Chains A and B, each alone.
Chain A
Amino acid sequence: MADPAVVSGGALNAGGRGSGGKAATSPAENYHLARRRTLQVVVSALLTECGFDSAEKAAVETLTEMMQSYITEIGRCAKAYCEHTARSIPTLSDAVVTLIEMGFKADTLPLYAKRSQRMVITAPPVTNPPVTPKALSAGQKRTHPAHIPCHFPEFPDPHTYIKTPTFREPVSDYQVVREKAASQRRDVERALTRFMAKTGETESLFKDDITAFPLIAAQPSTIPYLSALLPSELELQTLEETDSSEQDDQTDGENAVGNMISDDPGADKENAMLPLSAVVPAAKASEDNVIDNPYLRPVKKPKVRRKK
């Protein structure tokens, strides 16, 4: 078991590698095949020893399989014993214990090995165990730091833990940033306005070339003061952002009052939507219940006797 026999692994390996991947045999697979081949030879030799002249291929296969399982189990078990005792390499005693454990009389083994009729199998040509090819060699593999025993697993390939940014480092130069922001905004604005101009009515400053400086046509609105006075959504958004960020800058009282009042646009909007606006902001009403303003009083029902 410790002497894995490989019949033609080297050649196969070479062939597999040479063919460059068309034969879907990786070097590791070749290695396994070679080992199995050796095992078959062993099984066949044992059968011959036992007196068989021929054997069906299926039977040989089955026996090979059994043998492989058996050997594997011995190895696994031995390894387990070894690790159980906090070692990393199995010793002879581990193997012996294993064999015993598996119900094999270990003391019979030397006799069996010295039997007369045993066949000698030529050792398979020694090939280097295949090196697992480095899939990705990104950078230097790191060595263990001093406090970690060298038996510990090595670091994985650097690519598994080193992050490689897919974008370029942002330029932090102020001038360039401003430049970029400015031109970006300008481009967006220009594209947008051009688009609007192309899709709608336009006016032109030149008679000869109407497309030269297209101006979006002025459309009268029915209530022009609304758009002119109310801050746009964008501005409101900005205001909210800056307000929250600069709240602590507010030192002078007058501004604070102003902000306080304009701070709840949401609530105001609701009121604004009401067609009849005899509504005072709820907050205010609750804070001071004694407001007696004639415009807030309920409208009286007509007196029946007064008019027809």
Chain B
Amino acid sequence: MNRKKDKGFESPRPFKLTHQVVCINNINFQRKSVIGFVELTIFPTVVNLNRIKLNSKQCRIYRVRVNELEAPFIYNDPTLEVCHHESKQRNLNYFSSAYTAAVSAVDPDAGHGELVIKVPSELWKQGDDLKVLKVYIEFSLDQPKGGLHFVVPDVEGSMAERGAHVFSFGYQNSTRFWFPCVDSYSELCTWKLEFTVDASMVAVSCGDLVETIYTHDMRKKTFHYVLPIPTAAPNISLAVGPFEILVDPYMHEVTHFCLPQLLPLLKHSMSYLHEIFEFYEEILTCRYPYACFKTVFVDEAYVQVSSYASMSIFSTNLLHSAMIIDQTPLTRRCLAQALAQQFFGCFISRMSWADEWVLKGISGYIYGLYLKKTFGVNEYRHWIKEELDKIVEYELKMGGVLLHPTFSGGKEKDNPTPHLHFSIKHPHTLSWEYYKMFQCKAHLVMRLIENRISMEFMLQVFNKLLSLASTASSQKYQSHMWSQMLLSTHAFLKSISNVSGKDIGPLIKQWVDQSAVVKFFGSFAFNRKRNVLELEIRQDYTSSGTQKYVGPIKVTVQELDGSFNHTLQIEENSLKHDIPCHSKSRRNKKKKIPLMNGEEVDMDLSAMDADSPLLWIRIDPDMSILRKVEFEQADFMWQYQLRYERDVVAQEESISALEKFPTAASRLALTDILEQEQCFYKVRMQACFCLAKIANAMVSTWQGPPAMKSLFTRMFCCKSCPNIVKTNHFLSFQSYFLQKTMPVAMALLRDVQNLCPKDVLNFILDLIKYNDNRKNKFSDNYYRAELIEALTNSLTPAISITNEVRTVDNLNADVRLILEEITRFLNMEKLLPSFRNTITVSCLSAIRQLQKNGHIPSDASLFKSYAKYGHFVDVRVAALEALVDYTRVERSSVDLQWLLEMAQNDPAHYVRHKILGMLCKNPPFTKTTDPAPPFTKTTDSALCNEALVDQLWKLMNSGTSHDWRLRCDAVNLYYALFGLTRPSCLPLPELGLVLNLKEKKAVLNPTIKPELGVGPVMDTPASIGIHGVDPISLGVCGVGQPPLSLKRKAETPLGSPPEPGQILQQQEDDARGGRFKIRLKRRIGFNTMEDEDIDMETVHDSQAFIHHHLNLLERPSTPGKEPPSVEQSMLSMPATPVPSFPKETTPLSSKHGGEHGHHHHHHHHEHKKKKKKHKHKHKHKHKHESKDKEKDRERDNSQAYSNSPASGRSLRSPSLSD
């Protein structure tokens, strides 16, 4: 393991930041702009500190001064556009590596940054005495797309009356979006924050509010904050708005802020916070580290909860009134999460990205303890199971999640997660879903550690970490103690071993240093003679996302005489385990059967096997392995387990297992559980759905009324008139949840014709009809929403008459009733909106289902109107979900465009993220994973075309540079649609050779075969025309080093230390010369490069390949669409030499100087053109257009420097001329 063994923290920077002032003088809501300055106090740690690298994105920087001296600076952000001018390179491998390189190039954890400041020579000459430097930067932000979010409702009135507000947001370290800083979690400093805002507004930020002072004109006021605890820049935040202020009645140092008119909700929602405070402080035996805490509730929040030093920003949609049941636990959970992160994440920060799992793990773990205390052990265990199932499902589907990645030497080759289409080297390249799973796994691993060393030790470790940190936080910078506030994996593990004296090395190795989960298959046989249980546990460790487990595993066997735990050793080759049984199989009927928890119960043992004393068996009942267990036992054993095992996890497992046993006994067991009020309500809810499935499987033999109907009637209907439901009171939340769930499950019942039984539908309609909430002190909006969902579930596909337009007249009578209800509900919602518009949300999905099942005409316009900005976010998401589904089913390119348009331009970041996320989950078409008959048809969807590829490429390449999360979403979508390689819908570039580096084969592009008469496949080594070049160095297929663009080259003259993939400066000349030679030699080879996108591994049949190409050429050219694209790709090689060079010759050419390279390209370029003309005479008619295009390209090239807004700005800025 390459885990850092050294104790202290080594800064990657040649200086240490000690204090930073952020002053924002003006926030203009009308123009959405911000003006301010920052001042960083830094101590150089080297002599001759001549350059300072800081992080800054999208800020316009006016001037930089170092100790009052104007300093020149360069501002270069390679992530703005990941692949420059790269026209035809469309494979995701290539993009991912380029993106990772771009992020690495400015990674603050590696000491890099977008903003490079040259320390005036006057200062560094005398730098050996390690003098303090003060770096002063004036900046502004104009309509920021990331980092700060302005919410300005378009109504009459002043900004305060309109409820306009602004807040900072971001995924991981994103503070650089709104002020220049060292945007690293490991660079701590103290802070002074000043915000001048309109007198009607409040500015909430980190630290203690020292004073608020009016400006001279009394129109504005300045909020002065001081944060004396060393804090990393990513933990700094700001929220400004006309907030209503609520001082917590229990803790006066805690202040809550919400938007106007929501104060009553705020009061109710926050009335509980102090208990969470008390809980954490008690278990951690440590006071809350900051002097104050602020909660701010904002609209259009990026995520529901985000924690910063001494404040948290929440979505305003978490607020609720006392009438709402369902939201209450959710909001409390969010509060608890936020508060847990205050301790671990904000106060204690991570040392590097690889240590992120520790902080996420600890905060998630103590959050879990809170859940256990507040919501009970059942809820906690249920939650653990849920989380475990989630991570297992994800890893088995997508491949492993690695908690502690190590990057030895920073070489791309050592990618620890080759199965992923993104790099996990940086938080900013991670897919959001992966990150969520990462967090989930982190807290589960913490729980595993707890299992190993006991909770007491665990809490002691946390306490130790916190006390170390709080001691350090009160020290001055000079004491070099601040790094104690950074937590690394190593320090954490060391602390564990110190406190507990236990070695958790194997556990860490298994779950933290390795990805993937364990998959067990278990089965057993009972040997009557020996009275032994022969248990067989097999593992699948070959499929993706699985690993081999070796070590102890707990097995619990419930026998007639009691419950017994056995610890087995899973070893390399032993599959079978013999477990001696304690009880004789002969039953003693008088005796009660003792359970695990000491309880003794009577059981009806008639169902069980007379020869065996086994009631049920559980493998790893404590979930102390991250695993999936598929265990085989008889149905009666599952039934006993469901009825008598008291652990909710066991009950839930048995319910899922019983789905496979549709028998009367299963039915009875489930019904009994449903009725049993002591049983955990979530188990009962799950039992509903299982019962529905069983009933459907037993449809021909089912006796009596539809499943659950009589049960529901007994529980919730009036005694005198069983068809009428009682008026709502919802006093018992358990029954409330059950009442909500049962109709939904019942609606899934189907009769022999596979239709929802008539009396079930009528029953649900009656529930809606007789629903009466007048006497209830709780709102019934969630209940009604569930009833609509029940109606939706009852829908079955319409009897389709081919291609008939759906009209009102041929509407099915039942569907008419359903539609009637939905219409009424949806309309009533306009007059009396429900909390979070839950009813509208349900109605929209119901309408989509009606459309999908062919009952009403499929139409997207309704959803579009609900998806527009200005509706409540839940409604928008529901409408968008329907639209995404519509797009897939109807293959509508117009609507796909509409969605992508919104994903690019919508004001709400969350919605944009959601759109891409939903498109990934439900993609309009999927990548052709199985290219069995290759090239017969590229893809069966008309949506998959070149324009879409270009659009998505542009979206992830440059369109989403302001939001890491969104960019990763776009990458995910691209992956879902096209896979890793070049999309098959793109025309093949018709150029000379096709080079397959893996197979060391070169294939002459068969399209030119008719002209040249060359055989299609040449089994020659790759050396044709590329003598002397190592094939790998060609960097084809994105295997090699990512290119470093011209933009990034600009920083190399400043003498930055070489970063991975960069070449030392002194090599530059050699490289240039060398490359020149290579290039001349490689004329043919060059052609091959353009073709690399065709994944040759899929080209098994060369004849088919040729055939396809011929087809491509012979295809009737649809004017304006097909031919230009073909032609464009053919000519792309000569037209875009600049980007193509770095791609091919990456390691060598990455440093070529701008001018030289240019010249050279042109030369080369000309040459090629001649050759090309010669080759493709038949393409002459396209030449004109292409020439124009070329000119454009050339113009672009000449402007390469000024192209990117950021770099252009800095180039033009006066300071550079200094």
Contact = CB atoms under 8 A, between A and B. Distances in A.
Interface centre among B202, B823, B836, by most A CB within 10 Å?
A: B823
B161 interface: yes
Contacts of A302: 213-216
A209 B263 contact: no
A189 B828 contact: yes
B805 A208 contact: yes
B1057 to A, nearest CB: 43
Nearest to B153: A222
A262 B267 contact: yes
Given A182-B770, A299-B221, A276 B200 contact: yes
Contacts of B861: 203
A19 to B, nearest CB: 62
Contacts of B202: 277-278, 295
- Of the listed residues B212, B264, B831, B832, the one surrounded by the most CB atoms of chain A closer than 10 A to its CB is B264
Contacts of B824: 186, 189-190, 193
Contact of A294 (B210, B268, B299, B779): B210
Given A178-B770, A209-B808, A301 B214 contact: yes
A257 B270 CA distance: 11
A193 B843 CA distance: 16
A182, A276, A288, A295: most-surrounded residue (chain B CB, <10 A): A295
A220 B871 contact: yes
B759 interface: no
Q: Which of A183, A209, A223, A249 has the most CB of B within 10 A?
A: A223
Interface in A265-308: 265, 268-269, 271-272, 275-280, 284, 288, 291-297, 299-303, 307
Interface string B245-275: 1110100110100011111110110011000
A292 B267 CA distance: 19
Interface in B569-618: none
Interface-central residue, B268, B320, B861, by most chain A CB under 10 Å: B268
Contact of A222 (B155, B831, B832): B155
Contacts of A271: 244, 263
A117 to B, nearest CB: 95
A80 B123 CA distance: 134
A256 B866 CA distance: 39
B712 to A, nearest CB: 17
A261 B267 contact: yes
A206 B255 contact: no
B640 interface: no
A163 interface: no
Nearest to B830: A216
A234 interface: yes
Contact of B264 (A182, A265, A291): A265
A305 to B, nearest CB: 12
Contact of A261 (B268, B832, B865): B268
Contacts, number: 242
A143 to B, nearest CB: 44
B247 A262 contact: no
A225 B316 contact: yes
B242 interface: yes
A89 interface: no
A192 interface: yes
B948 interface: no
Contacts of B154: 222
A291 B245 CA distance: 13
Given A208-B809, A227-B872, 11 more contacts: A175-B724, A216-B830, A223-B153, A228-B317, A229-B319, A231-B835, A232-B832, A258-B271, A276-B160, A293-B255, A296-B247
B721 A178 contact: yes
Contacts of B255: 293, 295
B462 interface: no
A126 interface: no
Interface size class of B (residues with CB under 8 A): 35 or more
Nearest to A296: B247
B827 interface: yes
Interface string A172-212: 00110011011100100110110011000001011111001
A293 B847 CA distance: 51
27 contacts: A183-B769, A192-B831, A193-B828, A205-B857, A208-B808, A209-B808, A212-B808, A213-B823, A218-B871, A221-B870, A223-B153, A228-B317, A228-B833, A231-B321, A231-B835, A232-B832, A235-B323, A261-B267, A276-B160, A276-B200, A277-B202, A291-B247, A293-B247, A294-B210, A294-B292, A295-B247, A302-B215
Given A206-B807, A275-B160, A302-B213, A239 B323 contact: yes
Nearest to A287: B249
Contact of A262 (B242, B264, B805): B264
B871 A229 contact: no
Contact of B777 (A178, A243, A303): A243
Top 8 nearest A-B pairs (CB, nearest first) are: A220-B870, A193-B827, A294-B209, A277-B244, A242-B777, A175-B721, A228-B872, A212-B808
A238 interface: yes
A197 B831 CA distance: 11
Contact of B208 (A219, A249, A294): A294
A268 B264 contact: yes
A284 B214 CA distance: 27
A224 interface: yes
B282 interface: no
Contacts of A193: 823-824, 827-828, 830-831
A11 B221 CA distance: 108
Interface string B283-320: 00000000010000001000000000000000011011
A230 interface: yes
A227 B834 CA distance: 8
A181 B772 contact: yes
Interface of A: 174-175, 178-179, 181-183, 186, 189-190, 192-193, 196-197, 203, 205-209, 212-232, 234-235, 238-239, 242-243, 246, 249, 254, 257-259, 261-262, 265, 268-269, 271-272, 275-280, 284, 288, 291-297, 299-303, 307
B792 interface: no
B862 interface: yes
B930 interface: no
A296 B253 CA distance: 11
Interface in B1046-1068: none
Nearest to B213: A300
Interface in B713-727: 718, 720-721, 724
B213 A261 contact: no
B408 to A, nearest CB: 49
A288 B252 CA distance: 10
Contacts of A227: 833, 872
Contact of B857 (A183, A206, A272, A276): A206
B866 A224 contact: no
Contacts of B260: 272, 275, 277
Given A189-B828, A242-B775, A265-B264, A231 B323 contact: yes
A276 B199 CA distance: 8
A296 B857 CA distance: 58
Contact of A295 (B209, B865, B866): B209
Nearest to B861: A203
Contacts of A257: 271
Nearest to B157: A275
B211 A300 contact: yes
B907 to A, nearest CB: 12
B1084 to A, nearest CB: 60
A228 B836 contact: yes
Nearest to A210: B808
Contact of A214 (B823, B835, B856, B859): B823
Nearest to B838: A228
B820 interface: yes
B868 interface: yes
B1022 interface: no
Nearest to A242: B777
A255 B376 CA distance: 18
Interface string B453-480: 0000000000000000000000000000
